[in-house]
Amino acid sequence: FLLDRASGGGGAPLYLQLKKNIEDAVRHGVIGPGDALPSERDIALKADVSRVTVRKAVQDLVKSGLLVQRHGSGTFVAPRRERVEQSLSRLTSFTDDMARRGMTASSVWLDKGIYPPSPDEMMVLGLSAKEMVARVSRLRIANDIPMAIERASLSVAALPDPGSVVSSLYATLEETGNRPIRAVQRISAVNLAGADARLLEVPDGSACLHIERISYLASGKVIEFTRSIYRGDAYDFVAELRLS
Ligand code: 16G
């Protein structure tokens, strides 16, 4: 699909011609969602253009969301996104939600550790400045597709060893009788940019959902304060409404 430069768009700049060739190849199914693009060097050789030209075309297509770059493993055609429909009336975990759909949940750890609490963590979790907070931050993945970034904060009393969370936070809390039974969730719209956009493999400025979940134990004590960013193109949140 990397036609030579003469076959492109006539007088258009080379990187635009190359960009169009790649777009056409995806549109016509020559390369499909999830497929790897040849290396920058191979494209430059085959298309008879400089590597700078290839880089410029690829960067534009990453920005527009057609291609995704994964650190260390190369450039791929963005995977097809299937939207996930998520109920807003049940208190479930990401691992449960994905398992119910027959998808495999995994995580890339961004952070797990014990820190002095921030002012909002102190307020929500009811901590004093002398107490510590346990943080577990993860990129949540379903079948290789990055779905959400979750940054959870818990009191150290509830999660003394954040390292003990291997896959499911709720499963770990369940083992010590600390699984929440109720939560309040607030959803707001954000345009994502920077490092978080790159983690979720979305172009800068993409519409995403910021979700704050405050979860409670049966005793009424707050157990979890989680701030998440969910991909706007991957999620539908659905709630059933009843006449009073
Ligand atoms: C959900 C929750 C999150 C919770 C996580 C536990 C939302 C917006 N967030 O993703 O607050 O910490 O599940 O999942 O629903 P895990 O047990 O799979 O780690």
Beta bridge partners of 238: 87
pLDDT at res. 28: 86
Owner of token pair 């700078």: 52
CATH code assigned to 84-238: 3.40.1410.10
Both tokens assigned to 186: 């607030």
pLDDT for 6 equals 41
- Whose alpha carbon is nearest atom 2 of ligand 1? 93
CATH architecture assigned to 5-77: Orthogonal Bundle (1.10)
Under the phi-then-psi rule, with left for phi > 0, alpha for psi from -120 to 50, and beta for the rest, what region is 177? left
CB 21 near ligand 1, within 6 Å = no
**1 CA distance to ligand 1 middle (Å):** 42
Best probe residue, ligand 1, of 97, 147, 170, 225 (max atoms within 8 Å of C-beta): 170
Distance between Cα 208 and ligand 1 center (Å): 17
Residue 64 has a pLDDT of 83
Domain ranges of the chain: 5-77, 84-238
Separation CA 47–CA 54 (nearest Å): 9
Rounded (10°) CA dihedral 51, 57, 63, 68: -60
For ligand 1, atom 6, which residue shows the shortest CA distance? 93
Residue 160, token pair as written in the block? 């003394």
pLDDT for 2 equals: 66
139: left (phi over 0), alpha (psi -120 to 50) or beta: beta
Residue 196 has a pLDDT of 96
Q: Identify the DSSP state of 118.
A: P
Q: Is 97 in the pocket of ligand 1 (CB under 6 A)?
A: no
Maximum distance among all Cα pairs of the chain, rounded to whole angstroms? 72
**Ligand 1 atom with the shortest distance to the CA of 172:** 17
CA of 98 to the centre of ligand 1 (A): 11
The pLDDT tens digits along the chain (244 residues) read: 665 554 555 678 899 999 999 999 988 889 998 899 999 999 999 989 999 999 999 999 998 888 998 888 899 998 877 788 999 999 999 999 999 888 899 999 999 999 999 999 999 999 999 999 999 999 999 988 899 999 999 999 999 999 999 999 999 999 999 999 999 999 999 999 999 999 999 999 999 999 999 999 999 999 999 999 999 999 999 999 999 8
- 72 vs 74: CA distance, rounded Å: 6
Question: Which residue in this structure is represented by tokens 């719209």?
Answer: 189
